[in-house]
Amino acid sequence: MSTPAVELVDVAKSFGSFTAVQPMSLTIPEGGFVTLLGPSGCGKTTTLRMIAGLLDPTAGEIRIKGRRINDVPIHKRNLGLVFQNYALFPHKSVFDNVAFGLRYRSVAKPEIERRVKAALELVQLPQMADRYPKELSGGQQQRVALARAIVIEPDVLLLDEPLSALDANLREDMRVELKRIQHQINVTSVFVTHDQAEALTMSDQIIVMSDGRVEQAGPPEAVYNTPATEFVARFLGAANIVEARVQEVGAAVVVLDVDGFGAIAVPIERARGVQQGGRAKLVVRAEKLKLVAADTAAAEGTVTVPAVVETVDYQGQAARYFVRVGERQLQAVNMIDERPFAEGESVALALRGRDCATLPGDG
């Protein structure tokens, strides 16, 4: 079994009486791309800064390639760092910015030239070596910052909100580019973001954090489709959470009695914390609730209930609907076929148990 690229063992950080990161353990395999995801103040950047050596952990152990690095200074950890503000030297050319870490390591001049050229080609800026940061766009500056981080051939690449300063379209382009580069050079990466789309599209593993603790860790599909807590369900995409009672716990499905919907059978692998006769919460993503014409018959495996459209949020190819089902308001995100449903229109709301998950209920 190969040695993990990064290991955190019961790592915690406190500032006086305030606990910024509660004890957490994390293992990142060689070449993995792990995202620390959560709102501002959740502890994700503090965790990254402890790995980088910018902060000392209050407790626990940090290892890189099996070596304990708690007491190793930042310049001896062989890490690549990319920040949201780029942190380029304004008085240095692109070439000199990228070469900085190599010169600090006393790499021979011919090798510096070879590696800087290769890094600039990798980030698709081979003609920009003589330019200065002020002559570059935001996206180009971010590419230079990335080239500077990878040219030293780091053991781990640490990225702290690297795309947040870019506009929406450029951010999407850089998201694709960053993942391409990471795959191409196979560098182990730890990525910090509050953006759910970035985490879902780029990661091998997502660590969702809140109030200094890990809420859930796992592959993007598992975290999104089977949230471990209500916080994860709500933070990672739009989720409807409805109180229910557990009618039956079977070998393959859990049957919930949901007020207004009746019986809904959820796959057992997506059911958490359920027990016969107990309370539960049904979790259904907004894009899994389908609006159909009011007289549409329910298909096999689908539950259909009458609803009224209260608000329409037109989004181009899709629309977000807020609909009323009895005393409950739910939201659905649907692609638009011919026209969006109109506010005040009577519709039917359809959902399938296989698209749902459960959480433990209250009481």
Checking if the pLDDT of 362 tops 80, the result is: no
Q: Where in the chain is the domain with CATH 3.40.50.300?
A: 6-230
- State pLDDT tens for residues 260-298: 888 999 999 999 888 888 999 999 999 999 999 988 887
CATH 3.40.50.300 fits 6-230, yes or no: yes
Question: Binning pLDDT at 50, 70 and 90, where does residue 156 land?
Answer: very high
Percent of the chain having pLDDT more than 70?
99
Contact between 244 and 281 under an 8 Å Cβ cutoff? The reply is yes
Looking at residues 336-361, what average pLDDT do you find? 92
Question: Which residue type is seen at 120?
Answer: L
Checking if the pLDDT of 56 tops 80, the result is: yes
Question: Binning pLDDT at 50, 70 and 90, where does residue 210 land?
Answer: very high
Checking if the pLDDT of 17 tops 90, the result is: yes
**pTM over cut 0.85:** yes
Percent of the chain having pLDDT more than 90?
78
Task: Give the per-residue pLDDT at 337.
Answer: 83
Checking if the pLDDT of 339 tops 90, the result is: no
Checking if the pLDDT of 363 tops 60, the result is: no
Written as one string, the DSSP assignment of 204-268 is SEEEEEETTEEEEEE-HHHHHHS-SSHHHHHHSS-EEEEEEEEEEE-SSEEEEEETTTEEEEEEG
Number of Cβ within a 10 Å radius of residue 163: 23
Cα–Cα distance for residue pair 359/217, rounded to 1 Å: 16
Tokens 């580069």: give the residue. Answer: 181
Task: Give the per-residue pLDDT at 272.
Answer: 86
Looking at residues 95-114, what average pLDDT do you find? 93
CATH of domain 238-360: 2.40.50.140
Can you read off the two tokens belonging to residue 10?
């019961």
DSSP three-state, residue 100:
helix
Number of Cβ within a 10 Å radius of residue 277: 10
Highest-pLDDT range among 83-87, 141-145, 189-193: 189-193
Task: Give the per-residue pLDDT at 164.
Answer: 85
In 3D space, the residue among 7, 29, 82, 218 whose CA is nearest the CA of residue 208 turns out to be: 218
Task: Give the per-residue pLDDT at 172.
Answer: 86
Q: Where in the chain is the domain with CATH 2.40.50.140?
A: 238-360
Checking if the pLDDT of 344 tops 80, the result is: yes
Contact between 331 and 286 under an 8 Å Cβ cutoff? The reply is yes
- State pLDDT tens for residues 248-261: 998 899 999 998 88
Question: Which residue type is seen at 87?
Answer: A
Checking if the pLDDT of 81 tops 60, the result is: yes
CA dihedral 61, 67, 73, 76 (to 10 degrees): -160
| Angle between helix 138-150 and 168-185 (nearest 10) | 20
Question: Binning pLDDT at 50, 70 and 90, where does residue 1 land?
Answer: low
| DSSP bridge partners of 216 | 208
Question: Binning pLDDT at 50, 70 and 90, where does residue 361 land?
Answer: confident
Sign of the torsion angle spanned by Cα atoms 125, 89, 36, 57: positive
- Contacts of residue 43, Cβ cutoff 8 Å, sequence gap at least 6: 13, 20, 21, 22, 209, 211, 212, 213
The dihedrals phi and psi of 186, each to the nearest 5 degrees, come to 55, 45
User: What value does the mean pLDDT of the chain take?
Assistant: 92
